[in-house]
Amino acid sequence: MPVYLDSSEPGFEAAFTALLGAKREDAPDVDDIVAGIIADVRARGDAAVIELTAKFDKLDLTPETLAFSEAEIEAHCARVPPAEAEALELAAERIRAYHVRQMPENAQWTDPEGATLGWRWGAVSAAGLYVPGGLASYPSSVLMNAVPAQVAGVERLVVACPTPGGVVNPLVLYAARLAGVETVYRIGGAQAIAALAYGTQAIDPVDKITGPGNAFVAAAKRRVFGRVGIDMIAGPSEILVIADAENDPDWLALDLLSQAEHDESAQSILITTDAAFGRKVAEAVEKRLKTLERREIAGKSWRDFGAVITVQTLEEAAKLSDRIAPEHLELCVADPEPLAARIKHAGALFLGQWTPEAIGDYIGGPNHVLPTARSARFSSGLSVMDFLKRTTVARMTPEALAAIGPAAETLAKSESLEAHGLSVRARLDKLNR
């Protein structure tokens, strides 16, 4: 059974705090294992990746077959049903159009002292995009990672997607083709992250790694950060729905289950101003769980981590939402805009009852790679900015250096950095001759 909380009851604060602190990452201590895997890949390269792929994915590879060949990609893409191909094409088009608008502009100006200042943006040279394989093989994740990288101008895009037992999802390869990815490696886990970060004989290293994965992938991304950039450490999926009673309980039940079916550790929470309506939604969830294909996963998630919270006002709901800082936040209320204006912390907002979170997972346009585990308090979803670097630009004229150089020299002396001050003084002396 999910947790039922009422903000007007004694003990609510303690119960809500416990809900926030519940550990959902049902993973063993994998860091030592991952450290060994990374060290092995760094030492032995392809041989280590091939051995680990055989061990974990039951797939025998050679250096020549680590990546799909062009002929294999063509053959698999040809198997994609027309309706699914069209849907992916529409998704790619909408995702691209959204992310094009995110591109920042270069800037340059001359300040009152005559110095030219500014910045310019440039893409990372190479990005490695991790896409989970097996049962959790999502072509939508390929588009969400690769399209913003392509829009940003990344020159080399590669995908790592494991194929346990050699089972391939043709949609993943079709999505990669749509997003301009030329190389798709059939490897996964910590060994794939290590290979992308450090390179092997057959795999060139990248500058940034993005994309979700299991506990081993997350631990590997933590360990290689610094050698390469990463987007974020993804945790279990989560959704918060704030709703009034003027909604269809079954619709909201399906919205809650749309995240619960991802993972037994996913979390679905409903906040409502009507306790009776909250009960109706919970009843609708139970009814849907009887027929849902992934009912065992979704049912465990709902029973172990689900919650129905009754509040007195929508303002109170917004305050609780900011403490949760959810990955996905649906505002299923009569007038969602004023409520949205109160929200400070959320990975993605979905406004009104006609905007289910699922539309954002596939076709809406905004990215579905979002901060989890309350990290929306300080981070954002994946965007073109994750694949760009900002370089600052400065140019002094003799007049500008004469105006501000003495202050720089003074500060250098105060920090006991003699050469800093002398490098400025040498030029000032030249001007004073």
Residues 60 and 196 in one domain: yes
Of residues 76, 328, 357, 368, which has the active-site annotation? Answer: 328
- Predicted local distance difference test score (pLDDT) of residue 25: 63
- Predicted local distance difference test score (pLDDT) of residue 119: 98
Residue 74: band (very low, low, confident or very high) from pLDDT cuts 50, 70, 90: very high
- Predicted local distance difference test score (pLDDT) of residue 182: 85
Of residues 261, 264, 327, 330, which has the active-site annotation? Answer: 327
Does the pLDDT at position 211 exceed 90? yes
Residues 349 and 423 in one domain: no
Residues 301 and 370 in one domain: yes
Check: CB of residue 238 under 8 Å from CB of residue 267.
yes
**Of 133, 129, 125, residue with least CA distance to 147:** 129
Concatenated DSSP letters for 282-295? HHHHHHHHTT-TTH
DSSP summary character for residue 22: -
In whole angstroms, give the CA distance from residue 39 to residue 23: 29
Average pLDDT over residues 284-305: 97
Question: Which of 208, 230, 252 is the last residue before a domain boundary?
Answer: 230
Say whether 327 is catalytic. yes
Average pLDDT over residues 107-123: 98
- Predicted local distance difference test score (pLDDT) of residue 289: 97
Residue 190 counted as domain residue: yes
- Predicted local distance difference test score (pLDDT) of residue 6: 96
Across 172-189, b (16+ Cβ under 10 Å) vs e yields: bbbbbbbbebebbbbbbb
**In the chain, how many domains are there?**
3
Average pLDDT over residues 142-171: 96
Backbone angles phi, psi at 269, to 5 degrees: -130, 135
**Of 348, 309, 353, 347, residue with least CA distance to 333:** 353
Does the pLDDT at position 134 exceed 80? no
Residues 239 and 219 in one domain: no
Residues 215 and 320 in one domain: no
Check: CB of residue 67 under 8 Å from CB of residue 183.
yes
- Predicted local distance difference test score (pLDDT) of residue 282: 98
Collapsing DSSP to helix, strand or coil, 26 comes out as coil
In tens, the pLDDT along 249-283 reads 999 999 999 999 998 999 999 999 999 999 999 99
Question: Which of 180, 209, 230 is the last residue before a domain boundary?
Answer: 230
- Predicted local distance difference test score (pLDDT) of residue 29: 81
Residue 109 counted as domain residue: no
Residue 391 counted as domain residue: no
Residue 38 counted as domain residue: yes
Residue 385 counted as domain residue: no
Residue 419 parent element (H or E): helix 418-432
- Written as six digits, the tokens of 281 are 């939604």
Say how far residue 385 (Cα) sits from the centre of its chain.
12
Average pLDDT over residues 12-30: 82
Say whether 74 is catalytic. no
Residues 314 and 409 in one domain: no
In tens, the pLDDT along 322-349 reads 999 999 999 999 999 999 999 999 999 9
287: containing domain? 235-378
CATH number at residue 58: 3.40.50.1980
Check: CB of residue 46 under 8 Å from CB of residue 204.
no
Does the pLDDT at position 218 exceed 70? yes
Residues 49 and 154 in one domain: yes
Alpha-carbon separation of residue 30 from 135, 296, 308, 417 (angstroms) = 21, 25, 33, 45
In whole angstroms, give the CA distance from residue 5 to residue 17: 11
Residues 206 and 305 in one domain: no
